[in-house]
């Protein structure tokens, strides 16, 4: 989710292509991804500046905002008058002289504060750290630092959740926010993107999207959520159960989370038309085979599902040497049952394609099991099968797993400056 994500999705839908997303909070690293060809667009709310134009090409603006100072309100501010509150806060840019301000390294905020120091004729200590604006705001909230700079639209969202921060002191005029493209070989993409932006910004869909993220009082609910990964690295309320169960079957917990999301969207009470139940959509007969009541609790449902996965692993470990390929066979079997997947392996062997490779080989033969020419073959033991759902099941889980790995570290840690961090950073 997110403003830039939904804009990107609307643009790629307009082009009729799939969106492949990579997250990278560090601006310098993101520019390396762009210029090396690993990414085509930087959707990072980039402030348009003359210095950045030397390195990247900007799209037309997707929004406008200004930079603001983020500072803590005084203690007991709720019982104070507005004048009393203002007397404790920085309200004039000139009063930033000799202050220390933490900003994201490589950001336009660092550039702006250095320019501001020249404008006011005084020094301002600028500390560049590898944290984004959201993490820096939390450091202000928790008293780790006194000041940071943030774009006002983002700061407004965080002020809905953190009422103790003040964002009323601007440090810049309104500035254009745009996406970044490579300076070479991106002319056609830039032209198409700019045409789309010009039209989309005039639509009600754009107005709704902007209001949804930056003018909606409920935006703070996203930040407050225990499952907002920037805060906690959590995917769902069942992460602890998933991590424990994954360890027992030697799986990455994010892969199991991706399977559960695909099966139930983390709804522990959902029941399919075939009678599959709960988080892992376990069939009653499967629970009975393992002597588990799949309706007893989410933990028991996950236990039954992972025991079934472990059984599938015992089938495919001797047959599929490559662990990454083996996962695809196990996922397909979780949806289709192992019999149909074994039939497809036998068809691959008989027809001269690699029986240990999923894409372009066994997946192809599984799909052909709907054809009498193949499901009546002597090597097929489990009859006809329509594989569309199972093939999509595998693809969907692996795509979601890639996103989870990209967004949530195996063991996520909060971005919080320690006292040692603060005292060890060079001031400029």
* DSSP conformation class of 358: I
Q: What does the alpha-carbon distance between residue 21 and residue 39 come to, in Å, rounded to a whole number?
A: 9
* Cα-to-chain-centroid distance, residue 183: 27
Going by C-alpha positions, the residue among 69, 83, 255, 95 that lies closest to residue 166 is: 69
Q: What does the alpha-carbon distance between residue 26 and residue 369 come to, in Å, rounded to a whole number?
A: 48
Q: Which two tokens stand for residue 385?
A: 């099968």
For 348, left (φ over 0), alpha (ψ -120 to 50), or beta? Answer: alpha
- Angle, CA of 84, 88 and 94, to the nearest 5°: 125
Residue 379 makes CB contacts below 8 A (sequence gap 6+) with 343, 346, 347, 349, 350
Residue 232 makes CB contacts below 8 A (sequence gap 6+) with 226, 412, 414
Residue 187 makes CB contacts below 8 A (sequence gap 6+) with none
Is-catalytic flag, 119?
no
8 Å CB contact between 160 and 134: no
| CB burial string 73-87: b at 16+ within 10 A, e below | beeebeeeeeeebee
The one catalytic residue among 64, 263, 325, 349: 263
Going by C-alpha positions, the residue among 182, 141, 245 that lies closest to residue 56 is: 182
Residue 320 makes CB contacts below 8 A (sequence gap 6+) with 326, 329, 356
| DSSP 3-state of 97 | coil
The end-to-end CA distance of the chain, in Å, is: 36
Three-state SS annotation for 180-245 = EECCCCCHHHHHHHHHHHHHHCCCHHHHHHHHHHHCCCCHHHHHHCCCCHHHHCCCCCCHHHHHHH
Q: Which residues are catalytic?
A: 263
């Amino acid at each position: 989710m997110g403003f830039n994500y939904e804009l990107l999705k609307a643009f790629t839908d307009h082009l009729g292509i799939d969106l492949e997303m990579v997250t990278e909070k560090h601006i310098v690293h993101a520019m390396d991804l762009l210029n090396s060809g690993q990414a085509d667009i930087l959707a990072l709310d980039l402030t348009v500046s003359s210095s950045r134009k030397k390195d990247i090409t900007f799209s037309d603006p997707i929004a406008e905002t200004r930079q603001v100072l983020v500072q803590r309100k005084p203690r007991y501010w709720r019982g104070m008058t507005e004048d009393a509150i203002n007397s404790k806060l920085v309200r004039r840019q000139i009063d930033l002289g000799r202050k220390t301000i933490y900003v994201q390294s490589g950001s336009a905020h660092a550039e702006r504060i250095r320019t501001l120091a020249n404008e006011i004729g005084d020094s301002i200590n600028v500390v560049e750290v590898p944290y984004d604006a959201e993490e820096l705001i939390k450091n202000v909230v928790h008293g780790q630092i006194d000041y940071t700079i943030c774009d006002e639209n983002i700061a407004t969202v965080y002020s809905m959740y953190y009422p103790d921060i003040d964002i009323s002191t601007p440090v810049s005029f309104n500035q254009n926010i745009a996406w970044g493209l490579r300076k070479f070989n991106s002319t056609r993409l830039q032209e198409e993107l700019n045409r789309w932006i010009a039209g989309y910004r005039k639509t009600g869909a754009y107005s709704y999207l902007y209001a949804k993220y930056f003018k909606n009082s409920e935006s703070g609910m996203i930040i407050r959520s225990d499952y907002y990964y920037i805060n906690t690295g959590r995917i769902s309320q069942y992460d602890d159960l998933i991590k424990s169960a994954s360890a027992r079957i030697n799986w990455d917990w994010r892969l199991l989370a991706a399977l559960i999301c695909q099966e139930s969207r983390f709804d522990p009470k959902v029941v399919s038309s075939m009678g599959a139940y709960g988080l892992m959509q376990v069939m009653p007969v499967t629970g009975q085979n393992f002597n588990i009541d799949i309706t007893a609790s989410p933990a028991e449902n996950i236990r039954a599902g992972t025991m079934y996965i472990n059984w599938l692993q015992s089938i495919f470990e001797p047959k599929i040497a490559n662990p990454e390929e083996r996962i695809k066979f196990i996922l397909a079997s979780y949806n289709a049952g192992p019999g149909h997947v074994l039939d497809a392996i036998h068809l691959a062997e008989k027809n001269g394609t690699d029986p240990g490779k999923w894409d372009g080989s066994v997946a192809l033969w599984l799909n052909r099991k709907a054809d009498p020419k193949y499901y009546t073959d002597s090597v097929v033991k489990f009859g006809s099968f329509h594989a569309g759902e199972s093939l999509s099941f595998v693809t969907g889980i692996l795509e979601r797993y890639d996103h989870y790995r990209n967004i949530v570290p195996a063991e996520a840690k909060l971005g919080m400056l320690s006292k040692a961090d603060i005292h060890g950073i060079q001031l400029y």
